[in-house]
Every structure is written in C-alpha cells, then in structure tokens.
Structure 1
Amino acid sequence: MRRRQAAPVCSDHRIDLLQGAGEFFDALIRDMDAALSDIQFETYIFDCTGAGSRVAEAFIRAAQRGVRVHVAVDGVGCMGGLPSPWPERLAEAGVQWQVYSAPGRFGLLWPKRWRRLHRKLCVIDGCVLYCGGINVLDDFHDPNHGALQAPRFDFAVRVVGSLVAEASDTMEQLWWRMRAVRDARRHRLGDALADLRAASAARVAAAHEARQPQGMRAMLVLRDNVRHRSRIEQAYLRAIGTARHEIIIANAYFMPGAKLRRALVLAARRGVRVRLLLQGRYEYFMQYHAARPVYGVLLEAGVEIHEYSPSFLHAKVAVVDAEGEHPWATVGSSNLDPLSMLLAREANVVVEDAAFAQDLRGRLVHAMAHAGEQLGPACYAGRPLRQRLLDRVAFALMRAALWVTGHRY
C-alpha cells in the first residue's frame, strides 16, 4: 500500500542533512558568498553572539556586491533587536530587515500576538533551499542560560530541486504582505536578473551533482493560519498511521494533541517500535512541565521515551520505517505542541528516500544510546510530588491558554 500524501511529492531533489549550527552555518555561508541575485531569509531567533555573527557578516558581504538581501525575523524571538553596531552595519550595506508581528504595547497579553514566525528558511538565487530547526544562534550559547558545555542538538537540510520555488514564493509573499502589498509577484526582481538566477542555479546544481544522488522524493509542508492550518500535523498522522516497523521522533517541545497521541498509542499496540527522543534538560517552565502529563499513556502503550540532557535538544525531526519499503523522514521547524500545531508559521521538508532516512535514523539512534536516558514507567510514576504538581499546573495553564485562543487540541 503506497503512502498517501497531502501534496505532490516530486522526485527531482538532492538533499543534504546538516547537524548543528556548525555544519549549517558552513554550508549556508558558502552558498550566500556565491549568491548572484538574491537571498531570502527567515528565522525566529537572530543572535550575533559567537558564530551567529558569521551569518550577519555574510549578509553584509552579499548586499555590498549588489545582491538583494531580505531578512525577516520574529518579533518575540528577536525581542529587543540586535545590539549596536549590527543594525547600522546591516542597513549601511543595504540589507533589508523586517520584524514579524512585534509584540507592541500590550506584549503577548493579546492572544493574536501568539501567532509567531517560527519557520527557519533560506532561499539563495531561487535555486537552493535551507530548512530546519536551527536559528541564527551559536550552538554553545543560549540567550537565557548563557554558555553551554555541549552543542545544541538540531538539524537542517540543504535542498536543490523543484520545491525550492514553492519556498521562495511563500517567503516572497510573506515579505510583501508585511509591507502591506497585495501582489507579491510584481515586486520580484526584474528580467535583468533572470539570466543571473538561471546561471547560478545551473552552477549550484552542477557543483552539487557529483556529491549527491538524484531523484530524491521530497515535498515542502507549510503551516499557517489561513490555507495550511493542519498540513504538518496531517503529514505526521499519515506517516504514523501507515508505519509498519519503527517510528523515531526527536522533538524539543513535545505536547501532542489527542490525535497524535492516539496515533502513537495505536502504532505501539500494533507492534511498531515507537521511540521518542525528548528534552531532558530544563529550559522553560511551560514546555518542560506541561509535556510530562502526556507521557503516562504513551509509556503504558509501550512507547519508549528517551530524555536528552547533555545540552538543549532543539530538533524537530522524525523517521518512519527507514529500512522498510516506504521510508519517510521529516526535518523542519515544527514542534509537536500547541504553539506550532495551532498558531505559528512553520515549515518542514518531508523526504521519502532510504539513504536519507537511514542517515537521520542513525544519528538519532546514536543520540539515544549515548546521550539519552530512558524514562521507564516505574521512574515516571515515582516522580516527586512537587514535580507532579508542577506538571499538572503547567498542563492546566496550557489548556487554559488554548481555551482563550478558541482552539481545541
């Protein structure tokens, strides 16, 4: 039985899996330094501490040689803006910078302000896409917790193929919508840059072809509050519902809704090995404590839960039947929690390719074996009373917040 899809899956892609900001920044900056026409960039957090400054410097170099550079950041993720002299340097070079939904006078007290730009996308010259969970943030630095002893655990992908155009279009539309312009297409670069874009696409594809097999099946799955309200959730539900052998999910902020919980329980009960690699280190009160009340029903069904604690787990990835007939994997920005599933703009790349799925699976299995601590039913049931109370309080607050927004989850 062939897996059903919510959108067409094209077979003309070449995809690299990148782990951590180090690999991501190296590849991203190399492509930005070769850009000929334009760079479109979206992120939730943009922090110039440490390695993050390398990305800002790459924007400046590109803009100074005449490349159009559009950068959109989230108003909460980048609350307070960049420290001086970065805003002045970026503006002087010609980098165009916009903030998505700044909190404003009443901050996040207005529920509509909870709709955030959480996706991490970059399109270069219309021919290369980067998508994943990695912010512009040094792997060994956390804005709230300071220096980290181990790198943040996260992933992104570099994509060449037909889905790049879809990503470029949705980013362009958001950019000009933020400028209150209805027709995005009339504001794209003129015909004078068309030849440069085509030449750049051919150059990048040719350089990449020797390193990567052709014909990888992939699609871009977006989530917004208009046309694509549940596409990412539906992609997960289809993959979990048709799994035959194994499901591995690594997710930073894990609070799945009723449908996802039911799908995982049913998969485990029909004999599928289900393993979750989740945040084991305290980062935020709500995300840490509100997730734990849902663990019980999963553990009872036989789902394995591994908690990652050497550093912060920030990944939003999954692999289903990597060694089966229909391998499925996803890498993106979407957590499995109400903020991502119901409110934020998110972007995931779904890949149906055995080699890619096995590569991602190997990295997740290694992390579970060497950096994860399995949480058993007895250990979960024996949590201290104070922790269980905090878990219930956070869970109740999360449910109350959903009620305020009018969503059911």
Structure 2
Amino acid sequence: MAAEFLPGNRLTLLNSGDDYFPALLAAIDSANLEIYLESYIFADDEIGHEVAGALCRAAQRGVQVSVTVDGFGASNFAADFLPRLTEAGVRALFYRPEIGRFHIKRHRLRRLHRKLAVIDHRIAFVGGINIVDDNNAPEDMRPRFDYAVSIEGPTLQQVHHAVRHMWEIVSWASLKRRFRLSPVSSPQCQAVGTQSAAFLIRDNIRHRNDILHAYVEAIDNAKDEILIANAYFLPGVRFGRALYAAAKRGVRITVLLQGKTDHQLLRYATQTLYATALETGIRIFEYEKSFMHAKVAVIDSAWATVGSSNIDPFSLLLNKEANIVVRDPRFGGELRDSLLNAIEHGARELQPEELSRQPWHSRLLRWLAYGVVRAMVGIAGYGQHHWQNQDTKPEQQ
C-alpha cells in the first residue's frame, strides 16, 4: 500500500537513549488513559527497571497499560518483569514465545521487531531503540548509537491503529480473552505542527512491501544525495538496482554501516557487496566509535525515515517492522547533520584497495556467510524468488 502522508504533525528527532528514555518516561508518567508499548528487547538493566516502574505507577493510578514483547528477543521478560507488572495491573503479551530451548520451527525467524509506544492519543514514539540501556553492551561498543522520533498530531492515529491491532492479534493467538480490548473509535488528533509524515509497517498480508516501496520510490526520485545509516544492510535486487541507478545518474550516495557488530555473520555477508558498490561510486563508511543500531535514511534533505526496519531480508521479508517517513526539509536536515557528524567523528571510509588486498580465504568466508543468510531466509519460507523479485507482481503488494 502507498504511504498515506498526513500534514500537521510535530516531530522531534531523538538521538539514542539519552534523548529517548527521558521523553518516554515523562510521557508514561503523565498518562491518564492508556499506554501501548511494543519492544523486541526489554532488558534486565537500569533502563528496563525504570520503564517497568513507570508502567507500574501508571497502571496503579488507573491507566490501561498494554505491553507486547517479542518471545525470543525478550525471552527474559517473564522471569525479570512479568510478576511485578502483573501485580501492578499491567497487561503483557508475548509475540511467538519460545517453547523449549530446542523448539525450532520455520517461524522462529519471524519476530516482532517493532519499537513503538503510544500514550493517551497524545504522543507516540517510533524508532529503533529497544528498552535497553545504551551502555548495556561490551565496553568497546558503548554507548549504543540509534534514533527514535516522537510524534504529535494526525499521524499518531496511524500508530495507534497499528499497536491496537497488534495487541488484538497477539491476545487472540495467545487465547488471552480477558485481554481483549473494548471497541473504541480512532483518536482524532488535531494538527499541532507543520510537518508531513506517514507511518509504515511491514507484515505478511496487506503491508508486506510498504517499507520497501517507500525506500525505492524515494531513491528513484533522488536528485542530489542519498544518505543511509543501517545496522544490518543486505538489500535485495530491487533495492540494490535502485541505488546503482541513482549512482549512475550522478546522485551522491553514502552508506554508514556497523564497524562493531553483534551479528558477525550478517556483517560478513554484507561485505560481499562492498566491491560492486564502491565501483559504482557509492561511498561506504563503517562506524567504529561504538555499536551503531540505527535504521534511518535521508534523501535530498527533504525525505527521511526512522524506524526499526533494517535493509536486509529479515526486516524486509520476515519481521514485523515499523518506520516513520517524513517529508520535511527541517527534519531531514536535522537528521542529515546528525549522521554527517557521526561519520566525521566516529566512522572510517572503506577504500577499494582494502578489498583487493583481502586473501582468498577471507573472500571465501564472506561468500559462505552470504550463502548461509540466504539459506536461513529460505528455511523461513522465502526462497530466491521472493528475495530477489520482491514487489514484481501486483498481487504481492
């Protein structure tokens, strides 16, 4: 489905946990009606307990608090948080909970990867930041570098619909009838600003390719500059072709990727693409200052996206994801300046000669990693046809 841009929003770019968690906690503490929160990870650390405490306080003063976490990413949640939250009146659900350590099915790779919060039909948060302290990482990877956006205005309606729909689906699948929601009308959010934005999700039915569509359309329309920062970058053929076509028509393209990673397999697979990208004129930087978890892009300083979706087959084909897409030069310029600052002060540019000096066994290792990632996607139910020819048939839209 095409992105539905709504005007009249007030958007605030939040850089990493230092910006995000104070804003989120303040919104939770001021809630009067309802709170929805979705997170892939809900860590047993200082931030996790601060957020849990705020949710408990809200529930105890009569706010309806609904929390959905991923059953794999937040597998610790039941032991670390659930008793405390349940006692306070918080309702919590697990998306695809793991059943036993060796219970492996094809759907295990399909996760709830969204990071969303909606408070009182008043403010929403969309981004890539889990409920985890930025310093909850190995010493050389601290602090985590990521982004989120707070949303006030009409686009909040789209976020509210998505989190409510997810809650209904998971409660039905979990047979939690007592957690069913009473019918309510969508919030009618008045214009509070001047920024135009659309909220996009990825699922396996009506919104299977919405985030991919938005990226490719923006790349196809790029005239001057494309700036992408993405933690896990392994685009399919359509996305790659759009980037290469943009480079050939003279668009400056810069891609910022992880220099320090928690998924070495994906990093090795991504590195198989470096040579072709550099030959096409695409500049590649690796962020080495700390752990980069961002999933953002800016095109011509007028189009920008922030969200949970990586540019890899897991995010674009399998996971439940959510991104905000913004058409606003001020917001785009702010995100662009932040990314350029990160590149200048924390990243290293890759040079073609570095790749040519790699020994044969190193290059072989990277191609093997690429093959393994493709096989994992196939196991999950998506073969080469789906990966390389996404969006080529109308019925897949």
Report the residue type matching 1:166 in the other structure: Q
Contact 1:10 1:218 in 2 (8 A): yes
Task: Select the residue among 296, 314, 336 that pairs with 2:293.
Answer: 314
How far has the Cα of 1:104 moved from its partner?
2.1
Greater shift, 69-78 or 148-157, is seen at 148-157
Match of 1:50 in 2: 46
Match of 2:393 in 1: none
Match of 2:75 in 1: 79
How far has the Cα of 1:82 moved from its partner?
5.0
Q: 1:190 to 1:334 in 2, by over 3 A?
A: closer
Match of 1:131 in 2: 126
Greater shift, 51-60 or 37-46, is seen at 51-60
Between the aligned partners of 1:313 and 1:133, the Cα distance in structure 2 is 11
How far has the Cα of 1:81 moved from its partner?
2.8
Q: State the secondary structure of the residue aligned to 1:119.
A: coil
Contact 1:48 1:56 in 2 (8 A): no
Q: State the secondary structure of the residue aligned to 1:180.
A: helix
Contact 1:48 1:136 in 2 (8 A): no
How far has the Cα of 1:317 moved from its partner?
0.1
Aligned length: 380
Report the residue type matching 1:29 in the other structure: L
Between the aligned partners of 1:354 and 1:311, the Cα distance in structure 2 is 28
Between the aligned partners of 2:171 and 2:78, the Cα distance in structure 1 is 21
Q: State the secondary structure of the residue aligned to 1:159.
A: strand
Q: State the secondary structure of the residue aligned to 1:228.
A: coil
Q: TM-score, with normalisation over the residues of structure 1? A: 0.88
Task: Select the residue among 332, 340, 344 that pairs with 1:365.
Answer: 340
Q: 1:164 to 1:107 in 2, by over 3 A?
A: farther
Deviations 1:255-277 (A, max 9, x none): 01111111111111111000000
Q: Which runs of 5+ in 2 are unaligned?
A: 388-397
Task: Select the residue among 346, 369, 378 that pairs with 2:353.
Answer: 378
How far has the Cα of 1:189 moved from its partner?
5.1
1:216 aligns with 2:216: no
How far has the Cα of 1:148 moved from its partner?
5.0
Match of 1:406 in 2: 382
Report the residue type matching 1:337 in the other structure: D
Q: Which runs of 5+ in 1 are unaligned?
A: none
Q: State the secondary structure of the residue aligned to 1:51.
A: helix
How far has the Cα of 1:90 moved from its partner?
1.1
Task: Select the residue among 154, 169, 176 that pairs with 2:168.
Answer: 176
Contact 1:127 1:165 in 2 (8 A): no
Task: Select the residue among 271, 295, 303 that pairs with 2:282.
Answer: 303
How far has the Cα of 1:163 moved from its partner?
1.8
Deviations 1:301-331 (A, max 9, x none): 0000000011111000000001xxxx10000
Match of 2:214 in 1: 235
Q: 1:384 to 1:283 in 2, by over 3 A?
A: farther
Contact 1:108 1:114 in 2 (8 A): no
Between the aligned partners of 1:105 and 1:60, the Cα distance in structure 2 is 29
Q: State the secondary structure of the residue aligned to 2:370.
A: helix
Q: 1:93 to 1:249 in 2, by over 3 A?
A: same
Between the aligned partners of 2:107 and 2:180, the Cα distance in structure 1 is 28
Report the residue type matching 1:109 in the other structure: I
How far has the Cα of 1:386 moved from its partner?
3.9
Match of 1:347 in 2: 322
Between the aligned partners of 2:166 and 2:239, the Cα distance in structure 1 is 29
Q: State the secondary structure of the residue aligned to 1:29.
A: helix
Match of 2:153 in 1: 161
Deviations 1:213-239 (A, max 9, x none): x22010001100111110000100000
How far has the Cα of 1:127 moved from its partner?
2.2
Contact 1:285 1:394 in 2 (8 A): no
Q: TM-score, with normalisation over the residues of structure 2? A: 0.90
Task: Select the residue among 256, 259, 279 that pairs with 2:258.
Answer: 279
Match of 2:394 in 1: none
Between the aligned partners of 2:183 and 2:2, the Cα distance in structure 1 is 33
How far has the Cα of 1:114 moved from its partner?
1.4
Task: Select the residue among 116, 132, 140 that pairs with 2:111.
Answer: 116
Between the aligned partners of 1:69 and 1:46, the Cα distance in structure 2 is 16
Between the aligned partners of 1:90 and 1:350, the Cα distance in structure 2 is 33
Report the residue type matching 2:242 in the other structure: A
How far has the Cα of 1:374 moved from its partner?
0.2
Deviations 1:17-40 (A, max 9, x none): 000112100000101100001000
Contact 2:37 2:118 in 1 (8 A): yes
Report the residue type matching 2:37 in the other structure: F
Q: 1:309 to 1:82 in 2, by over 3 A?
A: farther
How far has the Cα of 1:398 moved from its partner?
1.1
1:395 aligns with 2:374: no
Report the residue type matching 1:406 in the other structure: Y
Greater shift, 385-394 or 364-373, is seen at 385-394
Greater shift, 86-95 or 342-351, is seen at 86-95
Q: State the secondary structure of the residue aligned to 1:363.
A: helix
Q: State the secondary structure of the residue aligned to 2:293.
A: coil
1:21 aligns with 2:9: no
Contact 2:3 2:210 in 1 (8 A): no
Task: Select the residue among 57, 66, 73 that pairs with 1:70.
Answer: 66
Match of 1:34 in 2: 30
- What is the percentage of aligned positions where both structures have the same residue? 40
Q: 1:289 to 1:149 in 2, by over 3 A?
A: closer
Report the residue type matching 1:280 in the other structure: G
Contact 2:47 2:133 in 1 (8 A): yes
Deviations 1:83-115 (A, max 9, x none): 44x332211111111110012247573112211
Contact 2:171 2:180 in 1 (8 A): no
Q: 1:256 to 1:162 in 2, by over 3 A?
A: same
